Structure 1
């Protein structure tokens, strides 16, 4: 019963990850509508500058949100914050449905971005603290499944239903989530132990086997005594925390340098430049479905293999598939006839999202949730996510500039090189966390 309740609680919590992820691909169908007049609530075709701001301002919001909620995560319960974060996603999707002025639409994107930053910061903390050491892998991998379902929703619905009803649907989802999460999910025992040991024990009795609870309580109390509220400088001064921070920061940096944000944001642009015979509206859906199927498969097997193995394998395969992908665009840019292999970009991107989700996507999220002790998680995760958001913003903002200067082919060859370097980083700088308790991980980091 304990394991079933834990799974239900985490899966309900992960619904907000699905909802927040719709923001990442919102721009793909909605900017098409705003660049036309048939279903445009603004009444005019937006400029290229307005287009870029709508596509990227939510990333700046996410950066700010990760910092704010990283700090709030030290003072307020994970459940309270995750419940609250559903509210702006609900309210501002409704505002967007009726919005008829650009500045208000832009403001909504920014505020929704702040909420998404909070979700991406607090949710891994909650899942890492609720899940047992033996099943954190599958629960962490399921985060990526929920994320990919969320990213798929705008691709599948946006082009085919009116702008107004699209945003009404996006508003209904957080309303359902808030009710389910408030009613069924428990507070994190790692948060409760700070002020109410009995409440923490009651939660543990629901999500763990009864005989393990006394030992877990003692381990949690010992962990809380050994850690205090910290700043980023405290993390950098501690040998163990500094090692963990470097691992997490390196993991996120190499994740960005696989080019994943470029693939997610500019899929349609890439296919238009590739000149594939398949519709550029349909290709993103095909790629997103392939990605979803792969993440479901990985969720089922993620706890069978070590984290480092899956991360290394994923980065290595990502590096390999980007070589022919880059070659196609390099040859096309230099006026070689590539019509006979016009199918290659679609095949390469399908393979890319599949191998990316073997490890780089889901395993890194799990690794992050396992790496830090409770009182450090808020500061550490918010700092790393801030760097992640900054990287996303610059890659998204300067993609067109880099494309003009280098071409998509050379750009993805550079991403391939970075993925090969990531394999070396994982081999020599990361530790294994699979099957270990939070206390065992901290001991290894400090040895």
Structure 2
């Protein structure tokens, strides 16, 4: 199609930048010509969310691997979670290690699990600043390097020290991608598919977890680790082909480059001029030289930060990471008649399917209703699990309801995957203006990983001191509070522009 002055205009005619005369920057203005394509938005989101796949493999890696590289000794669920002496009713005898040179004690196992959360907490800290300095794309590329180095360290580890190093390093990358991937997606997506794209991070996280559950049951831990290495390599190659986000480019005054990025993402015939103006209006509404303190002095930013952190708190204090890290042990401790590896795979499959379902529902049902549904059903499931363990630990015969833990766990994973799994990550990218988004997302992710560490490290202690019943009842209480909080303090963000969301957060 030949571009002529009477039907097309440059997105940046007023710019003196020579790039503003690039033919790709001309927008079709005739009726029926302007249109957008969503294909590349999906491709870009899927590529950056390979970081979520890598994070999922790292999270679930301990489940099949620790039994393979542990000292042959009777260990119960509490001893796996902490260095305490447990009293769970069903001891677990771990299998002999495949590599005689690498045999971890219980204390070493807890650090192999916990160091990821510590690394993720520290990795999230500088990522927002780095993303604002060098861009979202280059940050993703830089933070992918520790992923690659970590899996190399883990794959060829001959001592616990190398595992510690690899797990800490992989935590840094995991925390970084929890910041940069949702930020990248929120800045490239059209409003109509922002919710769907926003759920891809959690969806691909569950794909990574399922991969570990399935493959980990069939291969040795070293082979599994080498296979995990290919995910960050694919991520690095994919990020080389993606553009920087239009929001970041416009923040840096690169208007023509921002328009070219939009053309790549939204299609050749999108109205980039109007889209650029919308982004510019959001940037103008924000303070260009926003500081860290603006997160707390600006009412809208402060309210957004409170909501984001509380959603992450409720996400983790549902007990989800205790379930992921110790899925096999939980089922064995509960006396399930099914093989623990099969139980893990069932949970993983359900998690993937229901997170995919959430991505299809998110723009129809909305964020708030899915959060309320999620927390309500999880409260019931956790309360029933608590009652089951109460009966079991009090000596009652529960063999006739040995299926109950599996049922509750599957329902728990279903409702978590529909609501509190993906939606906090999605809303984290929606609640902030571009001037404070990087810092706010970093703080939110740090809060998330702090909760991960606390829950993971304290899970065994809670079971020892409180008992399994009180532990699950505690998590049930947290989700009951979450239901009340979302019902009273959170409004629907589906279909709302950034300006409309900020109007609500600011109380106008």
Q: Do Structure 1 and Structure 2 share a fold, with TM-score over 0.5? A: yes
1:400 deviates by 1.1
Question: Matched residues in 2 for 1:387 and 1:355: separation?
Answer: 22
Which deviations, in whole Å up to 9, do the C-alpha atoms of 1:360-412 show, x marking residues without a partner?
11122111111111221111111121121111111111111100111222211
Matched with 1:81 is 139
The question of whether the paired residues in 2 share the 8 Å contact of 1:311 and 1:364 is answered with: no
Question: Matched residues in 2 for 1:373 and 1:40: separation?
Answer: 51
Question: Matched residues in 1 for 2:38 and 2:302: separation?
Answer: 33
Larger CA Rg, structure 1 vs 2:
2
Which deviations, in whole Å up to 9, do the C-alpha atoms of 1:37-84 show, x marking residues without a partner?
855446142111111100111100000000021221221211111122
1:315 deviates by 0.8
Matched with 1:207 is 265
Q: Taking structure 1 as reference, are residues 42 and 377 closer, same or farther at Cα in structure 2, changes over 3 Å only?
A: farther
**Runs of at least 5 residues in structure 2 that lack an aligned partner in the other structure:** 1-35, 73-95
The equivalences for 1:138-287 within 5 A come to 138-183=196-241, 185-195=242-252, 196-208=254-266, 210=269, 212-225=271-284, 226-287=286-347
**Runs of at least 5 residues in structure 1 that lack an aligned partner in the other structure:** none
Q: Give SS of 1:335's match.
A: coil
The equivalences for 1:408-427 within 5 A come to 408-427=468-487
Which deviations, in whole Å up to 9, do the C-alpha atoms of 1:136-172 show, x marking residues without a partner?
1111222221010101122111232123321211111
Matched with 1:325 is 385
Q: Which has the higher helix share?
A: 1
Counterpart among 361, 367, 373 of residue 313 in structure 1: 373
Matched with 2:442 is 382
Corresponding position: 1:290 with 2:350: yes
Question: Matched residues in 1 for 2:483 and 2:262: separation?
Answer: 37
Question: Matched residues in 2 for 1:211 and 1:13: separation?
Answer: 23
Corresponding position: 1:3 with 2:38: yes
Q: Give SS of 1:2's match.
A: coil
Matched with 1:428 is 488
Matched with 1:364 is 424
The question of whether the paired residues in 2 share the 8 Å contact of 1:90 and 1:170 is answered with: no
The question of whether the paired residues in 1 share the 8 Å contact of 2:150 and 2:165 is answered with: no
RMSD between superposed Cα atoms in Å? 1.7
Corresponding position: 1:13 with 2:73: no
**TM-score using structure 1 length:** 0.96
1:102 deviates by 1.7
Question: Matched residues in 2 for 1:173 and 1:5: separation?
Answer: 20
Matched with 1:29 is 64
Question: Matched residues in 1 for 2:273 and 2:500: separation?
Answer: 17
